[in-house]
Structure 1
């Protein structure tokens, strides 16, 4: 099967690699050509000079870029994905973006008799590299059934949530949960340090009980060591939380904790930690 992958960042690079390694005929595109060339030297496959060129002849077109504007730049126009699609093509957007954009793209694809799925992912760079991502999907059931076996090359689980935009709304819920959990973990570690406890020993105990979380299992040890130069960056998290807070204003929900933690992340950015892992919330407590 011919597929294409647009966007070779820390997530897209290994995701496209899994497709090629699992026998798909992959054509990639990246704004920085050297990144596409690096991918090709590692995995093989083909390179498209534009999103349109990469999408031509592909049954499924995947993209994973930065934000709503980045998605529009690679989808629309003479050199965009839609210019290279034909009737029956399925476009799958793994970008974390707005639900409004997902519905817009679904309409644009339908006008060309193409399918569309909004399919943001969770699991971070490690999940992408290890093929262990979780994918939240919005769209038609038939399109999901078509895409799922292909996405299985880099996902441990994918789930159709509902209609177009539902995948993005589910990802917003995911980020809302993470924000509160990381802040709670940061405060607990700060409390333990101030109390003179061996936080590593405490985490080993409480991680066996009701306080256990992915963040505790994967980030507590590095937080204790003050290591933040990896993982999902604060800049990206603030982008995602902005999307969630904007949607909350539209649907009338109250996200008081999310708004507060978003401002805490702003503090981390001001201290130079925009590219630090999201667990760096602990650093602002050390400063205070």
Structure 2
């Protein structure tokens, strides 16, 4: 059985995609199954029930503390399930991910497979996966990724996918912060937002966030620890945790600080 731990805005549609593709899959979340609508029959908030028959675990929780709970702590599926494979889809510090190998039984296959594309891509099963692991392990898991995504980037051995993801998210964070700043300045200057976004899309300032501004679910969010802006702040920290010893971290810290100041858009100022 395949299990998805952490069925939030990304994990729930990923579970849905696996079920639609015919996989024997169920989801675990601390929220009761009734909150998941059509997915409720595939959901449980009972850790023991989730662990029964669980062989492949996909973790899509928020951060390292929640990953610790899923693997070793409150849920402790490494202890309670007969796991054969763990696929890490959360965005975590690459240093933390690499250290997991020594903490887990050798017979458990480890793959890091963080994804990109926001909720809309998860709902449409067209996520981009950044993959780290042995080629044979990635080959065996490819049907799962194919059910949930449309782009698959094999970055190297275990941990390489996570390193690529945090670097990608550094750019995503900078695009988010700077696009929002540009739109605020444009409003002050009296520019039409739609016309400016159309211009950016076909000009040198083009970026994923600006091009998808009206489709990306978090585009107008302000900073909150529990939303995607807060997750971007966390992801920048994950990248900084794995930065080279002599790296200049001033620019990432500035982007992180800008994200922390974001208010719901349009700004009330």
- TM-score category, normalised to shorter length: 0.7 to 0.9
Describe the superposition over 1:32-75 as per-residue Cα deviations: whole angstroms up to 9, x where unpaired: 3x1x344475363363721x642443342111111111111111
Counterpart among 33, 39, 42 of residue 39 in structure 2:
42
Tell me whether 1:6 sits opposite 2:5 in the alignment.
yes
Distance 1:24 1:155 in 2: 15
The residue matched to 1:27 in structure 2 has which SS?
strand
| Map of 2:203 onto structure 1 | 209
Distance 2:145 2:29 in 1: 20
| Map of 1:30 onto structure 2 | 29
Q: Which runs of 5+ in 1 are unaligned?
A: none
Tell me whether 1:19 sits opposite 2:18 in the alignment.
yes
Distance 2:29 2:261 in 1: 32
Contact 2:11 2:60 in 1 (8 A): yes
With the length of structure 1 as denominator, give the TM-score of the two structures. Answer: 0.80
Tell me whether 1:116 sits opposite 2:113 in the alignment.
no
Describe the superposition over 1:117-141 as per-residue Cα deviations: whole angstroms up to 9, x where unpaired: 1111111111211112111122221
Tell me whether 1:99 sits opposite 2:94 in the alignment.
yes
Distance 2:192 2:8 in 1: 38
List 4+ stretches of structure 1 deviating above 4 A: 229-232
Describe the superposition over 1:187-228 as per-residue Cα deviations: whole angstroms up to 9, x where unpaired: 433443344333422332342233222111111799xxx943
Q: Which runs of 5+ in 2 are unaligned?
A: none
Contact 1:134 1:155 in 2 (8 A): yes
Counterpart among 131, 148, 165 of residue 171 in structure 1:
165
- Aligned-pair RMSD on alpha carbons? 2.9
Quote how far apart the aligned CAs of 1:254 are: 2.0
With the length of structure 2 as denominator, give the TM-score of the two structures. Answer: 0.85
Distance 2:10 2:206 in 1: 26
Paired positions, count:
265
Answer 1 or 2: higher relative contact order, Cα 8 Å, separation at least 6.
Answer: 2
Contact 1:103 1:164 in 2 (8 A): yes
Tell me whether 1:137 sits opposite 2:138 in the alignment.
no
